Structure 1
Amino acid sequence: MSGRLQMALSSNMAGESRNLGNGHNTNAASPLKIFGHAKSKIRQVFKNIDEYVTESDRFLSGVPAEERIVDAMQIENVKAYRGKIRGIIDVLNRDHMKVAFFGRTSNGKSTVINAMLRDKILPSGIGHTTICFVCVEGTDEPEGYLLQEGSDDRKQIGDVQKLGSALSSTKASEDSMIRINWPKDKCNLLKDDVILVDSPGIDVHPNTDVWIDKFCMDADVFVLVSNAESTLMQTEKNFFHKVSERLSKPNIFILNNRWDASASEPEYAEQVKRQHLERDIDFLANELKVCSKTEAEDRVFFVSAKEALISRSPHTSTPTSVLAEGYQARLFEFADFERKFEECISKSAVKTKFEQHTVRGKSISSELMAVLDNVFERAIHMKAEKYSTRKEHADKLDYVDRQLDMMTKDIKSKIYEMTEEVERTVSSALNEEIRRLSLLVDEFDRPFLPDRVNMDNYKKGLHAYVEKSLGRNLQSRCSKALTITVEEESRQMTEKMVALLPEEQKQNTLNFLPRRDFEIAYKLDCRNLCADFHEDLEFRFSYGITALVNRFMGPKQASMILGRGFVQNIPRSMPMTPQTPTNEAHRTMGSDDNEVLLALLATFSSLYSRTTVGALAVTGLVAKAAGWRILALSGAIYGLLYLYERLLWTNKAKERKFKHQYVKYASSKLKLIVDLTGANCSHQVQQELSTTFTQLCQQVDLSKADLQEEIKKLNKEIGKLEEIGAQSKSLRNKASYIDSELNSFILTYLKQKD
């Protein structure tokens, strides 16, 4: 048993993290954890640096630029630092330990990766199998999936057999990459941020330069998988010569795969192994010069990836009993390769991925510290000037507030008195115009036709005429005096308020105020006000029964008599004792006479108005009492009177009656809005004066706001200047703390790994 095998066995017996069967790692920590710890540490450090730079940027940007405390270039540099730190953090989040597997066709590269993943994931088999690059990385999802280059559509893992296999009709192009995301909980390598990259055979396609530039420049470790049944070929050497030209001392492991073939000829196994080992060491140490001979001995291994996959895969159906003799030693050799490979990749990745970031972080921290030292000295001189200016503004603001309060009370009192006077003046004028409404209506001259269409137009015209005439009369009586009063009050108000403004704002305010002629609007709206007016133009004979009863008895009793017709006499109870006062008896007798007369008139009118027979009966009774001649003469005179009045009932008479009715109705309606009109006009005056006063107050408020804004700005600047010293010191202490963290990272993960 070789020395390396004995070391591997003793390492596993001591509790090494490998399990050669179907299980996974034991409790011992993997060397890959070092990279994970370093990555976590450096990410936390740069998170602190990002917070520090962000806080410094916020602090320096808050310092007033016009005060020249901080140069604009310094602020721009700090903002640029933020972008650089964010870029480094993004790179750190993406940084993985990358391993690239290369070798000639059918050397078993895919099988080696499958054995390390403990499952058959990549396509493998006899002949040229892998057609393109296949990248295997971890995912936190429970199921794996496949992503083709240039697409975000997830495919099933089984599709890799179609896309990545040279035997498939739907294979991908040689210079493309398929990404397999495999659950981390199924493989500890992926859990520790390791990415495995499988490649096509380097002896199949000539585009090795393109492959190196596209897929290998960021690789931490290269694994050359050679065929142990043959010696190291020139094709393999040429490829890694090109890798060595582009990368400074790449980390290369050589796996002599298919060493299980040595079991068929055990007598030559050691000689062949020694031959391969010498040539491999010479290639690494003397030709490539990537390591010393001693280091090269630990980077050459003799394994059987197929046996390792069979023994590890949970899905294999091949029993280990069919494996070739001595497979345990080859399995230990494979485990030893993984251990050395993990140590190497962890060391390489920590140095190559984190060292430059650490140096850049220290540089940014020191540059920011120098900026912060310079800020405090420039701020002290500014504070005294800010205090003096603030006091001047505060005194001026206090004076304007006191004067504005006094003027506001005085102006509001004058506006109130003026609006009261306007309301009284307009109400009095409107009442007088209502009393003269009949004269105004009589002046309305338009053809009067009593049909419905013409009457509607006539009333519309009359409404408009009355509204316009009343408004014109009110304007002539009230508007001129009110306008003069309003303009004079506005002028005095403006002079007082403008005196509170700064000199540079006085003329601007006078130009800002609108110059308009104030005029009161009298909104009477006669059309809607008299919308319910309905004229009565029916002919009424002035000596008719209804007219006579109405004339002698009064409208109230006439309507009662004519409305109820015949009134039956209701027997009254006799008084128990005689009424002694004479005047009381006379009043009683007068009342009885009136009631008798009312009853007779009601009976007469009822009989006369019911039927022709009733009328003839009444006429007969009258003729019998007074005589036919007198009755005939009276009837003739009565008829002539009726005819005379009927002939005089012309359109002109109808128009007079219409206007009389309209004046009576409109007067009653207009009287209802006298107070409302007066209040409306007073409101207009109040609105005009209040608007002017409000505009002037707005100008004064703008001036006050400017002063307040200046004071607020000065307070903020003074407070900022007072805070600058403390903040500068605090940020400088943070810079020292970050620098110590970076030094600690260098001592822990970089210098000890050299």
Structure 2
Amino acid sequence: MSGMVHRSMDDEDAETGASNRKLGNGHNQESALQLFVNAKKKINDIFRNIGQYVLEADKFVQDVTSVPECSVIVGPENSEVVHGFCEKIDGITEVLARDHMKVVFFGRTSNGKSTVINAMLRDKILPSGIGHTTHCFIQVEGSDSKDGFLLTEDTDKPKSITDIKQLASALSDVKLQENSLIRILWPKEKCRLLREDVVLVDSPGIDVSPDLDLWIDKFCVDADVFVLVANAESTLMQTEKNFFHKVSEKLSKPNIFILQNRWDVSEMEEDIDQVKQQHIDRNSDFLAEELKVTDKKGAKDRLFFVSAREALASRLNNDNVFATPERVLLPGFQARLFEFANFEKEFEVCISQSAVKTKFEQHTNRAHYINSELRTVMEEAYTKSLSLQDEQMQLRKEKSDRLSHLDRQLDLLTGEVKNKIKAMVEDVERKVSCALNDEIRRLSVLVEEFERPFHPDAMLLNVYKKELHMFVEEQLCLNLSGRCTGPILRNTDLLQHSFADRLSAILPEESKQQLLNLMPKRDFEIAYRLDCRNLCAGFREDIEFRFSLSPTALVQRFLGTKGQVRFLEGSDSLFQRGRQMSSEAAGALGGDNPLSASGGGDNEILISVLATFASLTSRSTLGAAVVTGLVAKAAGWRVIVVTGALYGGVYLYERLTWTSKARERAFKQQYVDYASSKLRLIIDLTSSNCSHQVQQELTSTFARLCHQADVTKQQLEAEVKQVDKGLTIIKEISSRAKSLRNKADFFDRELQGFVAQFLRHAGL
């Protein structure tokens, strides 16, 4: 319970008994730490059994590889793998024996870290006091001895527990370096935490040394829980924040508890509720917003307001708070003791779950991997031994003359199959070519079936063309598939079964069923690869309005495309251009043309008008006036007016009928002409591709069938005189491999049970 609300004195009195029970040694209730203890015992038992299994498997592999006739059952690579597992299992077992739950206490100088640990140990083991007391790291762990002792890094010789004050105290002249470690081995029978594999690490103040990175690397990488002991008389300092920012950078979402120690001074303050809320807000923001190790709600559950001094004093008096001197305990101490007990409860649940994950999850995964690899080796050995037995029994009944008979029959069959495949390929190529030609001829009908909104805008038109490409390719492929695929697949299937029937007639009876298994399980798919999008990538539509009686159209009609180009590239002078186009138009029209027959002068005038009309009107209105004047002089104004009215009417009619639908028809017609020409270029390629697919399918099927014949030949050649040799050994190997495989299945269930019981139970 973090962030306790204020309760009345009656409520506090009612909770005093429960608080005292929670502050007891916990012998009547199973501790949350038992999850780790039981998991450690279980995983150690599993690894001991797996270790024996690995030794047995290694002995089996060595026995198999020592027999030359059975060397194929277990390859040398599997032998090395199994032998390597022996060392891995020994290493993991050794690590598991040393694994424990580790919690590290950090905080600024004189915040009460050592006092908190002493209160949790229920004994004054670590030196404590005002000012800078702890000068180096102190690790308290359980020991089976009756008396406590300590060890330093420089020697394995035990020292008296009383030396801790000289070695670890900052006030001593013989103190160790700040990054040194003193191990205190305290009797397990005196403390439940130590008895249940918890290791507590005290640290110097994080504000007295700049070597925080070294501290983290040396003492924190294997920690399961961090406890930040803060001073309730001051707010969370930047020094404390910086340290845990460094911890969070090197460890993924570390488990952090924050103890606001010395909360007993709150009884002497006014505005305590505001101060407490300030601590809650600041610490919650630090855990949730800055470190991001939990959410807001979870952050509040990691914050506790305690007095380690009162908890230690109470526990030194066997939890009889009334026997504790009143000068030690201030009013409201029951709530603070209850808060400290609640911290221990939450701490035990957290560290137990975290340690199970960090210590055992990886080992469990490695055990799964080792067990799975061993099972694979044993399953492979068992399968190969059974197969070898079958081969020996089959080869016993074979006769030497069947080998020569099989060779002759295979040669005859191969030649027959090649001829049938060749005929089938030619027939497929012919069918696909004819079908594709027919589809190209009716391409206009297919394009007319394409119904999508048409718009002359360039962006929308690109989308329209893309969809048209896809539609045409899809429909062409569907039509080709409908016309060709069915007959081709039926003929292919018949031919493949004829291969199997002919081959089964020359192979031993036991190989016929294997031939059926080698037959394709389903019809292969013929891919008609047309790729209309890339094939028609060069298509450029021309759907701009073109007036049929425009000067350009008339010039093109009378002079042809080449004459029109030459005309438009004429001289600079307007009249010179007219004369030049007059001579070119006269040559293009020829003698039988009506214009040519009407006389030299009139013909020259008409051609000059037609030749100069486009250039004059394209440059300015003045040019149009000049042309109109010339024509009026030659034919008269009435003719000009009537002709102009008719000309305008025809233009208006054509302009109004040039709708989006007309553009779409013109576009589709242009597309059909262009696509047809391109598709005709790939008829041979497409038909050849389809025939090649059929050829490849038939050839691969026959190759698979022939492979079985080759296996039979090899067995006849290699094993005809070795039938009975090694059969007894192979049966024994098969029996041992099966037994070891079944053991692997048993251990797999054991590991799954461990995961379900401990890892999933812990909510991991």
Partner SS state of residue 326, structure 2: helix
Corresponding position: 1:242 with 2:243:
no
Corresponding position: 1:280 with 2:283:
yes
Partner SS state of residue 183, structure 2: strand
In the TM superposition, 1:662-673 aligns within 5 A as none
> Match for residue 115 of structure 2?
111
C-alpha distance 164-721 of structure 1, shift in aligned 2 (>3 A)? same
| Aligned partners of 2:136 and 2:181 also within 8 Å | yes
> Match for residue 300 of structure 1?
303
| Aligned partners of 1:123 and 1:165 also within 8 Å | yes
Give the alignment partner of residue 758 of structure 2, picking from 734, 745, 749: 749
In the TM superposition, 1:245-324 aligns within 5 A as 245-265=249-269, 267-314=270-317, 319-322=324-327, 323-324=329-330
AA partner of residue 724 (structure 1) = I
> Match for residue 349 of structure 1?
355
Give the alignment partner of residue 213 of structure 1, picking from 214, 217, 227: 217
C-alpha distance 717-128 of structure 1, shift in aligned 2 (>3 A)? farther
> Match for residue 94 of structure 1?
98
Give the alignment partner of residue 193 of structure 2, picking from 180, 185, 189: 189
- 1:25 offset after TM fit, Å? 1.9
C-alpha distance 132-372 of structure 1, shift in aligned 2 (>3 A)? same
C-alpha distance 221-154 of structure 1, shift in aligned 2 (>3 A)? same
AA partner of residue 202 (structure 2) = D
AA partner of residue 146 (structure 2) = P
Mapped partners of 1:24, 1:296: distance in 2:
28
| Aligned partners of 1:105 and 1:128 also within 8 Å | yes
Partner SS state of residue 152, structure 1: strand
- 1:378 offset after TM fit, Å? 4.3
Partner SS state of residue 129, structure 2: coil
| Aligned partners of 1:140 and 1:183 also within 8 Å | yes
| Aligned partners of 2:389 and 2:731 also within 8 Å | no
In the TM superposition, 1:442-457 aligns within 5 A as none
Mapped partners of 1:41, 1:369: distance in 2:
22
Partner SS state of residue 185, structure 2: strand
Mapped partners of 1:39, 1:16: distance in 2:
30
- 1:249 offset after TM fit, Å? 0.2
TM-score by length of 1: 0.53
Corresponding position: 1:53 with 2:54:
yes
Mapped partners of 1:150, 1:344: distance in 2:
34
- 1:24 offset after TM fit, Å? 2.1
Corresponding position: 1:329 with 2:338:
no
Give the alignment partner of residue 345 of structure 2, picking from 339, 355, 358: 339
C-alpha distance 178-720 of structure 1, shift in aligned 2 (>3 A)? farther
C-alpha distance 16-748 of structure 1, shift in aligned 2 (>3 A)? farther
- 1:719 offset after TM fit, Å? 5.9
> Match for residue 477 of structure 2?
none
> Match for residue 31 of structure 2?
30
Which deviates more, 49-58 or 233-242? 49-58
- 1:10 offset after TM fit, Å? 11
Give the alignment partner of residue 131 of structure 1, picking from 131, 135, 138: 135
C-alpha distance 278-727 of structure 1, shift in aligned 2 (>3 A)? same
Structure 1 gaps of 5+ residues are 389-714
Q: Deviations over 1:295-326 (max 9, x none)?
A: 11110011111111111125999933222111
C-alpha distance 320-298 of structure 1, shift in aligned 2 (>3 A)? farther
Partner SS state of residue 348, structure 1: helix
C-alpha distance 324-9 of structure 1, shift in aligned 2 (>3 A)? closer
Mapped partners of 1:716, 1:115: distance in 2:
76
Q: Deviations over 1:672-723 (max 9, x none)?
A: xxxxxxxxxxxxxxxxxxxxxxxxxxxxxxxxxxxxxxxxxxx997764332
> Match for residue 725 of structure 1?
734
RMSD of aligned Cα (Å):
3.1
Structure 2 gaps of 5+ residues are 396-723
Give the alignment partner of residue 374 of structure 2, picking from 338, 345, 368: 368
AA partner of residue 312 (structure 1) = R
- 1:365 offset after TM fit, Å? 1.3
AA partner of residue 217 (structure 2) = D
Which deviates more, 83-92 or 250-259? 83-92
Mapped partners of 1:284, 1:360: distance in 2:
33
C-alpha distance 42-6 of structure 1, shift in aligned 2 (>3 A)? farther
Mapped partners of 2:745, 2:20: distance in 1:
40
- 1:150 offset after TM fit, Å? 3.0
Q: Deviations over 1:325-377 (max 9, x none)?
A: 11111111100100000011011111111111111111111111111122235
How many pairs align? 426
- 1:177 offset after TM fit, Å? 0.2
C-alpha distance 5-138 of structure 1, shift in aligned 2 (>3 A)? farther
In the TM superposition, 1:537-616 aligns within 5 A as none
Mapped partners of 1:150, 1:214: distance in 2:
16
| Aligned partners of 1:369 and 1:732 also within 8 Å | yes
Partner SS state of residue 195, structure 1: strand
AA partner of residue 75 (structure 1) = S
Q: Deviations over 1:208-237 (max 9, x none)?
A: 000000000000000000100000000000
Mapped partners of 1:243, 1:734: distance in 2:
43
| Aligned partners of 2:12 and 2:334 also within 8 Å | no
Partner SS state of residue 153, structure 1: strand
C-alpha distance 721-13 of structure 1, shift in aligned 2 (>3 A)? farther
Mapped partners of 1:287, 1:279: distance in 2:
11
| Aligned partners of 2:231 and 2:261 also within 8 Å | yes
Mapped partners of 1:237, 1:37: distance in 2:
36
AA partner of residue 30 (structure 1) = S
Give the alignment partner of residue 148 of structure 1, picking from 152, 158, 162: 152
Mapped partners of 2:106, 2:749: distance in 1:
42
Mapped partners of 1:307, 1:175: distance in 2:
30
Partner SS state of residue 324, structure 1: coil
| Aligned partners of 1:102 and 1:199 also within 8 Å | yes
C-alpha distance 10-354 of structure 1, shift in aligned 2 (>3 A)? farther
Mapped partners of 1:314, 1:283: distance in 2:
37
Larger Rg: 1
- 1:156 offset after TM fit, Å? 0.8
Mapped partners of 2:225, 2:122: distance in 1:
20
> Match for residue 631 of structure 2?
none
Give the alignment partner of residue 359 of structure 1, picking from 361, 365, 368: 365
Mapped partners of 1:371, 1:378: distance in 2:
10
Aligned-pair identity in percent equals: 56
C-alpha distance 377-259 of structure 1, shift in aligned 2 (>3 A)? closer
> Match for residue 167 of structure 1?
171
In the TM superposition, 1:459-478 aligns within 5 A as none
AA partner of residue 294 (structure 2) = C
AA partner of residue 62 (structure 1) = D
> Match for residue 89 of structure 2?
85
Partner SS state of residue 105, structure 2: strand
| Aligned partners of 1:383 and 1:718 also within 8 Å | no
